[in-house]
Amino acid sequence: MAQDINLTLQQNLPTVGNTNNTQTLDLGVDTAGFSDQWRQGRLRAVIPALPNATNNAVSITLTLQDSADGGNTFANTQPLIQVVLPGVATTGTPAYGPGQVNAAIDMPLPPGLRGPIQVQQNVPATIGGDCSTAVITYDWVNE
């Protein structure tokens, strides 16, 4: 897989109890003649360890959204595409894998994508502590 450095988004997680959105990324899927199949690429979420996410009863949620009106209004994709990061008691959410600094989780782009995309990031009020210094990077990765 090859990463396209021109197709990257970065966003801090919001403060506890809040939701924020990344900037938009327009892959041109709403232009005439563009295939309506599963996309031959992924949006890779690169997530650092979250040591303050210590409540294992709640999760941080990253939700892929698309826009039917060119980027003014966004809604969840159909089917719903989410990354769920559960809290881990005492240690917080790890970076997944021995020796890893960051986790990388790929989000597929479904058929029927309606236009530009963004990611909505939600941090529950009861996650355990402030995670807003964590920067999530979203990279388009070609298959």
Please check whether residue 139 lies inside any domain of the structure: no
Please check whether residue 116 lies inside any domain of the structure: yes
- 24-44 pLDDT, tens digit per residue, is 998 877 666 655 666 678 899
Cα(79)–Cα(109) distance, rounded to whole angstroms? 9
Number of domains in the chain: 1
pLDDT at residue 92 in the model: 87
- 82-130 pLDDT, tens digit per residue, is 999 999 998 888 765 445 667 889 999 888 888 899 999 999 999 999 9
pTM for this predicted structure: 0.89
Please check whether residue 113 lies inside any domain of the structure: yes
Half-sphere exposure of 75 (CA within 13 A, CB side): 7
Report cis status (omega within 30 of 0) of the bond before 79.
yes
Structural domain of 20: 13-133
Cα(18)–Cα(81) distance, rounded to whole angstroms? 20
For residue 11 the two structure tokens come to 């966003």
Q: Are strands 135-142 and 2-12 parallel, antiparallel or unpaired?
A: antiparallel
